[in-house]
Chains A and B, each alone.
Chain A
């Protein structure tokens, strides 16, 4: 494991309530520069809600979210994305009537215009092996291809912090393996958080893991330690 840098994302006493239900309960969390952190936990553990508080899709009921030392809780998602953060939501969320190329253009055009944007789109198309698909309407693509397009779009906007919610969901085994390689590659230039509940996938990524249970952090350690932890086994199997 490489030496990690400064804290780039932090939550302090973050809580999210829906009516009487506490989905995220007083969570203190730290992420250091260059990390590849997996958030895991059984269904309903609060990891997706926590994730949405980070991206701005939800406004937390209490507590703070600091990204690069700036408080962002309650800001709209576009402001948070503006700070250089790339987000992939749980289900592939794309512009169904647009082509693959238009998707990449939309992402690239956050920072570049004209010929340079076009060149970057072409480069991304090749890097993500989307060449054959680039004129296709995204609504017509298969699930795995859609996932690929979404990841490409996230990377296209040049983020320094990448947040992925279940990037491997619904993928075939081969696709998952390719996704792992891709994520490692993206992680070379960015800091990442990945929400996932597929244990196989977590093992393949093999880095720092934060386990959520009942809205709070149960344990936080390297994947090998976490997976052999009795409490984690109980949470996953006992539930």
Chain B
């Protein structure tokens, strides 16, 4: 794709984002706005995996770990502090740091991508099991009870920074979430245009070559993983604020699978793909929830199987291929990871 095409596309995305940010609250009712808000939070979560998988070539089976960690960090910290700004930042930093440590352990250990899938899955399971078993009232952090399988039902939600009394209403929350989505999207986009981004893509394309050029693959991958973790944590903090409730299910394998489905349906190697995938799949989930015959897991599972078999690059690259076919040969998109031995 020619650079001008790419620039036009980003202007279009930015314009569309701003239009939704400003226009949507004017045309829909509050219930719909709440529904859209959660789609936005999920879109940010999808971006976190879309970044590390689509650009970093790292398939994380436990992205839900960072999501859950962000949500719980926010909830616990907000109860202790009584306002939202510090806890919100902590909910980004802590999952990011956790991802950094986990990533460093895996990448410096030179674990193959299949075993990395296993590791991330196991870490998620540990967190789930641990949080799930903290129902006993001895499990407290400061003044916050972890609540085990009951979750944490109530905590201070987002307020205007510096003014704990000025709690955001649902409409204001929509603005915040949408602004974060636009911000994260363009931050990640910008990151990919820097030297760092170029090296990350180079590593995805050919790890050995990048290494022989003198780039420390382990460090770059760890950094990508940490950024993905931080964005996942951000989505978690927003999620906690959306429902004013966190539960161990956030760490669940089902949650991790859902994130992977968003990204694979939307498309790897793009940022728009995961956003589209998250919104589309969650919309389908909402529709399915309104009837009682066909099970949601059944449909999601079928979608995942079909996409892996028939459309492994997802919708976005396929659509772009159709759009740009006549102009230039289409640039090859990343393969998912390598193939372990």
Contacts and interface: CB of A to CB of B under 8 A. Distances in A.
A77 to B, nearest CB: 4
Interface string B297-321: 0000000000000000000000000
A132 to B, nearest CB: 16
A131 interface: no
A214 B20 CA distance: 69
B212 A97 contact: no
A82 B210 CA distance: 12
A93 B195 contact: no
A97 B201 contact: yes
Contact of A98 (B201, B214, B218, B329): B201
Given A89-B208, A96-B205, A102 B198 contact: yes
A95 B202 contact: yes
Contact of A82 (B202, B206, B214): B214
Interface string A182-201: 00000000000000000000
Contacts of A89: 208-209, 212
A177 interface: no
Given A109-B195, A113-B195, A137-B331, A95 B214 contact: no
B217 interface: yes
B216 interface: yes
A39 interface: no
Which of B206, B212, B334 has the most CB atoms of chain A within a 10 A radius of its CB? Answer: B212
A110 interface: yes
Contact of A57 (B198, B208, B214): B208
B199 interface: yes
A157 to B, nearest CB: 6
B325 interface: no
A62 B334 CA distance: 38
Nearest to A55: B212
Contacts of B211: 76-78, 81
Contact of B213 (A76, A96, A110): A110
Nearest to B212: A87
B327 to A, nearest CB: 13
B334 A97 contact: yes
A77 B110 CA distance: 13
B198 A96 contact: no
A78 B205 contact: no
B215 interface: yes
A153 interface: yes
A98 B333 CA distance: 10
B216 A97 contact: no
25 contacts: A55-B212, A57-B208, A57-B212, A77-B212, A78-B211, A78-B215, A78-B216, A79-B216, A81-B211, A81-B212, A82-B214, A89-B212, A93-B208, A93-B212, A96-B205, A97-B201, A97-B331, A98-B201, A106-B202, A106-B213, A109-B195, A109-B198, A110-B215, A157-B213, A157-B214
Given A77-B212, A78-B211, A87-B212, 15 more contacts: A78-B212, A93-B206, A93-B208, A93-B209, A93-B212, A94-B206, A96-B206, A96-B332, A97-B205, A97-B331, A98-B201, A98-B202, A106-B199, A106-B213, A107-B213
